[in-house]
């Protein structure tokens, strides 16, 4: 009896994009990002060698696009069956595109015994055009800072990575009525935004190096929270002409302001283009109490929701098992 086909399952975490460190570009590099992997939201993709290329489950069209890019670049036979079991919400600022692309690429290359490094997977799928934090958290989780892009860069290099304190929490504020910028609108924003004043870029770098980094090493929650809030304020104001204010969603802005003013949670902001906002909390108990109160306060806005997450200090996981029977409603 022949062995059952091998199934490769890749699970990759959602991430928060907490801001850029240099949008001036005067030193020959631009962007540079801060990010954090979180528990509770992830993309799960499985791949099995098959007769042809198919995709089932969620995000099947995007999955096939990434798969075709990978297979063509590596000159592999298009004989893989893919299934997306769960997917990070799209256009919410949680890194759905990069995590799906890397999970698909990792599943395919592992199933085909053609494994590649995470930066190579990013190149194969065209990720990391500006930010490298999604690539960094896929590789190792935790709190990640990348070095942006230069003319010589293919993928933004990860400069620093920290384990995030296990007892700290992040409250996410969701808005189902809005979407963050993406596609052509996002490209236009980066194209049309003026170069950041060097003094602001220097301020962002100081807040990162002398605020965020020591606070993570010393487990100094107050300094971490205020440093993140200051970074977010600078970045939010810089992009406000393109997203309608410091926050994409006025309702999210009101909710995070409530968490700050009523509960003393000063580490607030918006992840990427939003609309998802966040507020850091020093413990699970503090976060839970704040969310209960916020849910009651905003009960008349059913499109606004709250969730509590721990950080994830590990990257994507890869599991190998015997293949299950594929679904019949495949997209090819």
Pairing of strands 268-270, 143-146: unpaired
- Assess whether 100 and 152 both reside in one domain: yes
- 191 and 281 together in one domain: yes
**Sorting pLDDT into bands at 50, 70 and 90, what band is 2?**
very low
**Mean pLDDT throughout 6-14?**
96
Answer yes or no: do 73 and 10 share one domain. yes
Mean pLDDT of the chain: 93
Looking at the fold, whether 96 and 123 belong to one and the same domain comes out as: yes
- For residue 326, the model assigns a pLDDT of 45
Q: Which domain holds residue 2?
A: 1-163+312-332
191 and 276, same domain (yes or no): yes
Q: What is the pLDDT of residue 4?
A: 53
Q: What is the DSSP letter of 313?
A: -
Model confidence pLDDT, tens digit, residues 85-99: 999 999 999 999 999
Percent of the chain whose predicted confidence (pLDDT) is above 90:
81
| CATH number of the domain encompassing residue 217 | 3.30.70.890
Q: What is the mean pLDDT of residues 150-167?
A: 92
Query: Which of the pair, 332 or 35, is modelled with greater confidence?
Result: 35
Same domain, 251 and 264: yes
pLDDT recorded at residue 304: 98
Same domain, 183 and 244: yes
Same domain, 49 and 145: yes
Instruction: Tell me the CATH number at 123.
Output: 3.30.230.10
| CA 164/CA 200 separation, integer angstroms | 26
7 and 137 assigned to the same domain: yes
Average pLDDT of span 273-283: 97
Percentage of the chain beyond pLDDT 70 is 95
**What mean pLDDT is predicted for residues 98-112?**
95
CB neighbour class for 127 (10 Å; exposed up to 12, middle 13-18, buried from 19): buried
| Whether the predicted pLDDT of 1 surpasses 80 | no
Same domain (yes/no): 240, 183: yes
Q: Number of structural domains, the chain?
A: 2
Please report which confidence band the pLDDT of residue 154 belongs to, taking 50, 70 and 90 as the band edges: confident
Instruction: Clarify whether residues 191 and 225 are in a common domain.
Output: yes
How many whole angstroms separate alpha carbon 150 and alpha carbon 31? Answer: 9
pLDDT category at 3 given cuts 50, 70, 90 is low
pLDDT on residue 78: 85
170-192 confidence digits (pLDDT tens) = 999 999 999 898 888 888 988 89
Can you tell me the distance from the alpha carbon of 169 to that of 154, in angstroms, rounded to the nearest whole number?
33
Residue 323 pLDDT class (50, 70, 90 cuts): low
The structure tokens listed for 136 are: 């960094």
- pLDDT of 38 strictly over 60: yes
């Amino acid at each position: 009896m022949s062995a059952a086909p091998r199934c490769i399952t890749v699970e990759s975490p959602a991430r928060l994009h907490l801001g850029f460190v240099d949008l001036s570009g005067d030193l020959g590099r631009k962007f540079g990002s801060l990010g954090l992997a979180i528990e509770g939201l992830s993309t799960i993709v499985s791949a099995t060698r098959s007769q042809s290329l198919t995709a089932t489950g969620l995000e099947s069209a995007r999955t096939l696009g990434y798969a075709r890019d990978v297979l063509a670049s590596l000159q592999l036979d298009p004989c893989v069956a893919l299934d997306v079991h769960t997917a990070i919400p799209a256009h919410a600022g949680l890194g759905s595109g990069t995590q799906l692309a890397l999970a698909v690429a990792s599943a395919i290359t592992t199933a085909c015994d053609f494994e590649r490094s995470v930066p190579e997977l990013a190149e194969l799928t065209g990720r990391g055009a500006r930010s490298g934090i999604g690539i960094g958290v896929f590789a190792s989780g935790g709190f990640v800072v990348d070095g942006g892009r230069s003319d010589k860069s293919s993928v933004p290099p990860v400069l620093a990575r920290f384990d995030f304190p296990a007892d700290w929490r992040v409250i996410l504020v969701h808005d189902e009525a809005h979407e963050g910028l993406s596609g052509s609108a996002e490209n236009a924003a980066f194209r049309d935004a003026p170069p950041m004043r060097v003094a602001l870029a220097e301020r962002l770098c100081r807040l990162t190096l002398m605020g965020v980094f020591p606070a993570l090493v010393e487990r100094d929650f107050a300094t971490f929270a205020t440093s993140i809030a200051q970074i977010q304020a600078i970045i939010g104001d810089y992009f406000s002409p393109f997203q309608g204010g410091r926050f994409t969603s006025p309702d999210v802005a009101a909710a995070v302001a409530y968490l700050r003013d009523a509960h003393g949670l000063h580490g607030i902001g918006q992840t990427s283009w939003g609309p998802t906002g966040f507020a850091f909390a020093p413990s699970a108990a503090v976060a839970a109490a704040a969310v209960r109160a916020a849910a009651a306060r905003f009960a008349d806005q059913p499109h606004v929701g709250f969730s509590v997450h721990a950080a994830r200090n590990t990257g994507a996981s890869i599991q190998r098992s015997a293949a299950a029977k594929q679904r019949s409603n495949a997209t090819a």
